[in-house]
Structures are given as C-alpha cells and as structure tokens.
Amino acid sequence: MESKELKLGKIVDMAWHWRVEDGFQWKFCAGVLTNDYKFEISPKELRRAFHKFFKDLTGCVVYTKCPDCGEGKIVPRRSIYGYIVSCSTFPKCDFKRGRKKKE
C-alpha cells in the first residue's frame, strides 16, 4: 500500500506539465488523469492534493501573496533538487523554500 505522501507526489508529477507548464485548468488536468491514466480524481480533489503536497513539502501555501515582497505570489517550481516554491517576481524577490527540515 502506498503512503499518502507518495500518492500526492505521483499526482503532482502527473499533473505538473499540464497545470504548471501549460497553464491548463484543474478540470482539464483531472480529465486527462481520469480518461488516460484511469486515475479517478475530481478537479477539486486534484487542486486540494496539489496544494497539500506543496504545503506539506515546504510549509508554504501556493498561489498566495509572497511573505517577503508582498507583490508576487508563491508559485510551485521544479528544480534539479526537486520541487520548491518561490516568488513569482524572481529575480526581483529571491524568496524560495524547499523541503522542510525534519524536526
């Protein structure tokens, strides 16, 4: 049985390209996952899973106001080190967060 974190990670990996890189709506992404991958998920559940994944990973809520500059929004990004969140106004604002440190 897969852990919840692993399942959330798979959902984000599968939807990443359509949602983040191509800017498609949640409804489209959920439709592709359901029709092409036989992964039953509603747009609302997909959006919730995406937000939960980044909140659990970084401690930040995506698409909210940047805590450093107040101008940009916190956006998800993928780097060679894995998933991170950063300010949409980068490089003007250099706010970024990676995986939370375990306590």
- Domains of the chain: which residue ranges? 4-97
| CA atoms within 13 Å, Cβ hemisphere of 23 | 0
pTM above the 0.75 mark? yes
Q: What CA–CA distance (Å, rounded) separates 19 from 15?
A: 6
pLDDT digits (tens, 9 = 90+) for 10-52: 778 888 878 877 778 888 888 888 888 777 888 898 888 888 8
